[in-house]
Structure formats: C-alpha cells, structure tokens
Amino acid sequence: MRSSWIICFLLFLTLINLLLPKVASAQAKIISPNYIIQMPNLNSGAGIPSSSTYKLDTTIGQTAPGLYSSSGYLVRAGFQYIHSIIPFSFSMSNFLINFGTLMPGTPVTRTSTLIVSSGGAGGYRITARESGYLQTTTGKVIPDATCDAGTCSQTAAAVWALTTTYGFGYNMSGQDVPSDFVDGTYYRHFANTALSQGDAVVMSNVNVGRGRTATITYKVNVSAVQAAGNYQNRILFTALPSF
C-alpha cells in the first residue's frame, strides 16, 4: 500500500504541474536552429519622449542598467548607452579632382578636406588606396611618386620639392594625420591596388572627437617625354570607427 500511495502522489504532483499556467522566466540564452538571442529580457516600456526643450531616451526592464566605474574601467550598461553622444560621420569635399592640362616640369596640386566625427570608445581611422596608376585607356601611365631621394612609399612620406622629380602623390596636413607628414613638402604615393598594396592610414585617433579636420593635397608632375592623353584613376577612402 505504501508504494502505491507514493506512485499516486507523484502522479498527482505531475498533473498539478501540467495544469498550472506557464510563467515566463529570465534566461541567459534563447536558441533555435535559426537564431541565438543572448541575454533576452522583456521590456515593459521604452521610447524617446521629447518636447521643444528636451529629448529623453528611456527603457524599463533592462538588466542591471547604469554607470559602473572603478580605477581601471568604466562600464555603461543599458540600452540608452547604445546611442553615442557623437555619432560617427565622415565627409569629404572636392571628391572629383581635375588637374587640367599638365606642363612638363610644372607640378600641379589640388586639395580636398576630410572631416570626421567619432564617439566610439576606440576612436577611428581613415584609410586610402588607389585603383591603380594614373593611366590612359591605352595603358600609358604616370608613375607613383618616389620623391626627391626615391624614398617615399605608401606608408612613409619624404620630401618632394624638386620640379625634376615626377609622379603622382599626396600630402596630409591638419588634425590626426600620420606623423611622417612633417610639413607641406613631405609626400607619399597612394597604396596601389594593382600592386596588391594594402590600404594606408591617412587619419586616425584613439580618442573620441567631433569635427576632426585634415587637408589632403594631391600632386602630379610629368616629364617632357610623358605621353599625351587623358589620365585617370580612382582613390578609395574607407572610414572605420572603433568601439
């Protein structure tokens, strides 16, 4: 009789468990064959109420929201911290460069302005590379500049001041530019995709900032034996925020 009673009692508990309404509980992870949701929770309210004098980003139900700090770290926990105070943006002026008619031994320069705003914890970097040499449709090329001493490259600037030094290159000045651009006489050539050269950094900063501005100066100089024609290439700038 005792063993039968235990079996019935367990059966009774099982039936109670099946009949009770299911209650949602917090989980660390929700998984299916098609997705994984990390640290799920249900919010009872959220939104961005605003008026003519304020805008408030709110959420209710977030797990452990708030600002936590110590001598070695700062943690901003909560949905409201997803929105950066300084959204990432990148703009560029004068993105279509026309050098006009080139005269041998007469360098021509053109400029563009780069402006970056970045609120990510890791700052940002801007890289650049060219699609290939300045060239005509028939394959005539203007070489990449190697500067007066033949030492500048896609990652190292050197002085280019002589009118008898030929090629295509660029200088950077302003905020957050690489330190090898000592002054306006220092040039690099662009990383060349046709030579499998990797993108080179032209602006960077590990800190947040708004309206960081630099000027890029393009320069081309040709010799008297340079073939006539319409030369062109493309320069790709890539803006990368870090978080």
Question: For the segment 63-122, what is each residue's pLDDT rounded down to a tens digit?
Answer: 677 788 888 888 877 666 666 678 899 999 998 999 999 999 999 999 999 999 998 878
Spatial contact of 88 and 95, defined as CB atoms under 8 Å apart: no
Instruction: Return the pLDDT at 221.
Output: 98
The separation between the first and the last C-alpha atoms of the chain, rounded to the nearest angstrom, is 68
210: helix, strand or coil: strand
Contact between 115 and 124 under an 8 Å Cβ cutoff? The reply is no
Domains of the chain and any CATH numbers: 42-82 (no CATH), 89-241 (2.60.40)
pLDDT at 202 over 50: yes
Give me the mean pLDDT over the 162-171 stretch: 98
- Assess whether pLDDT exceeds 80 at residue 133: yes
Q: Tell me what pLDDT residue 83 has.
A: 64
Evaluate if residue 185 carries a pLDDT over 60.
Answer: yes
* pLDDT category of residue 160 using cuts at 50, 70 and 90: very high
For residue 32, the one-letter residue type is: S
Residue recorded with tokens 């408030």 = 56
Percent helix, strand, coil in the chain, to 5, is 10, 35, 55
Instruction: Provide the edge-to-edge strand list for the sheet that holds 209-221.
Output: 89-92, 108-118, 209-221, 167-174
Cα separation, 159 vs 163, in Å, equals 12
Average pLDDT over residues 224-237: 96
What angle is formed at CA 159 by the lines to CA 157 and CA 164, rounded to 5 degrees?
125
Taken as a whole, the chain contains a residue count of 243
User: Which residue did the predictor score with more confidence, 144 or 75?
Assistant: 144
Whole-model pTM: value is: 0.70
What average pLDDT does range 139-146 have in this prediction?
97
pLDDT for res 9: 46
Could you tell me what percent of the chain has a pLDDT over 70? 78
Residue 38 is predicted with a pLDDT of 66
- Can you say whether residue 47 is alpha, beta or left, with left for phi > 0 and alpha for psi between -120 and 50 degrees? left
Residue 143 burial (C-beta neighbours within 10 Å; 0-12, 13-18, 19+): middle
Mean pLDDT for the chain overall? 85
